[in-house]
Amino acid sequence: MNISQAAKRAGVPAKTIRYYEDIGLITPARGANGYRDFSDQDLHRLAFLARARRLGFSIEQCRALLELYADRNRASAEVKAVAQTHLAEIDAKLAEMQAMRATLAALVHSCAGDNRPDCPILSDLASGSQTIAAQG
Amino acid sequence: MNISQAAKRAGVPAKTIRYYEDIGLITPARGANGYRDFSDQDLHRLAFLARARRLGFSIEQCRALLELYADRNRASAEVKAVAQTHLAEIDAKLAEMQAMRATLAALVHSCAGDNRPDCPILSDLASGSQTIAAQG
DNA sequence: CATAAGGGTTCCACCAGCTGGAAGGTCAAG
DNA sequence: CTTGACCTTCCAGCTGGTGGAACCCTTATG
């Protein structure tokens, strides 16, 4: 199967597939003409990758997961550890973004948004919450 | 004031300050020896940038905000528009990450995490929710 | 048989937003 | 005069691709 077919089936752009091969996540066979020839197994790995990426796993985490997937003797604890690490990363980022959101929403709310120049958003950014002077 | 002092006061690494100058966000004066010489105004801009970045504004949004900040005749509506755009971006990302989190948490929950190989996480990634076969 | 469309291939550059490091100039202290 | 801590510039690399150029291969059509 050619790359564009594989791309369609796995729901991944052809460019991305080439990139994945480049970094060693997949190794499709090559035809006599040099074209990549994707097997069902290749497709399977691609789909696995696509789903893992959609869940936000990093490329290196995907690599680890693929290795565990291929290892019939893995302990599920190893897989769970990877997933839990990622979950913790997501939670940390969520907390950070929710804090951002809260501040930002308050600022947006406080701004009249008319054609006068007074703007609490700019005021906050300019002197926001912390003093810059007299620290050193 | 030298760059390391400015960095300390504004809470931004010196490298980042050089980068900000490189992309035209700040233009500190130079001493006879070629060293950057930061004025209070430069510090002010740096602190503004630091806070805006901490709120997740992109560099280009920061540039826009700095311009509005410098324009005594701006309409607060313009500022609010930038902030609202950013708020919408954050909300979109939050929704995406919360969806990820829900799926991931369910997977983690369903995995025994012992030394047996059976793992619902891998099963899900391998065949997860969508079929890869017979689409094209 | 020529040619044009629509595949495929490689490689190089670019995006955000820095960060690390090398190579070298400057400055203050002992 | 040397040491060490600054400063400077520039180049490379990080993540996870994406766009584009230049070129090869295949297939259909006149």
Answer whether B90 sits within 8 Å of A83, measured CB to CB: no
Using CB atoms within 10 A of its CB, is residue B115 exposed (0-12), middle (13-18) or buried (19+)?
exposed
Q: Could you count the other beta carbons within 10 Å of the beta carbon of residue B6?
A: 23
Give per-residue pLDDT as tens, A6-46. 999 999 999 999 999 999 999 999 999 999 999 999 999 99
* pLDDT band at A5; cut points 50, 70, 90: very high
Whether residue A86 contacts residue B105, with contact meaning beta carbons closer than 8 Å, is answered with no
B70/D10 CA-to-C1' distance in Å: 32
Mark the ranges of chain B whose per-residue pLDDT is less than 70. 128-136
Give the list of residues 6+ apart from residue A79 with CB closer than 8 angstroms, or none.
A65, A68, B111, B119, B121, B122
- In this prediction the pTM is 0.89
pLDDT on residue A129: 61
The residue in chain A having the minimum alpha-carbon distance to the alpha carbon of residue B113 is A77
List the single residue in A77, A121, A125 with the smallest CB-CB distance to B113. A77
Nearest to residue B47, comparing CAs of B19, B23, B72, B26? B26
Give per-residue pLDDT as tens, B110-134. 999 999 999 999 999 998 654 333 3
Nucleotides of D under 7 A from a protein CB: 6-10, 15-20, 25-26
Q: What is the number of alpha carbons within 13 Å of residue A14 lying toward its C-beta?
A: 11
Distance CA B65, CA B57 (A): 9
The residue in chain B having the minimum alpha-carbon distance to the alpha carbon of residue A123 is B69
CA distances from B116 to A62, B110, B119, B126 (A): 21, 14, 8, 18
pLDDT on residue A56: 97
Answer whether B125 sits within 8 Å of A65, measured CB to CB: yes
pLDDT on residue B88: 96
pLDDT on residue A136: 30
List the single residue in A103, A116, A122 with the smallest CB-CB distance to B69. A122
Answer whether B83 sits within 8 Å of A104, measured CB to CB: yes
In the 51-110 stretch of chain B, whose C-beta falls under 7 Å of nucleic acid strand C? 53, 58-60
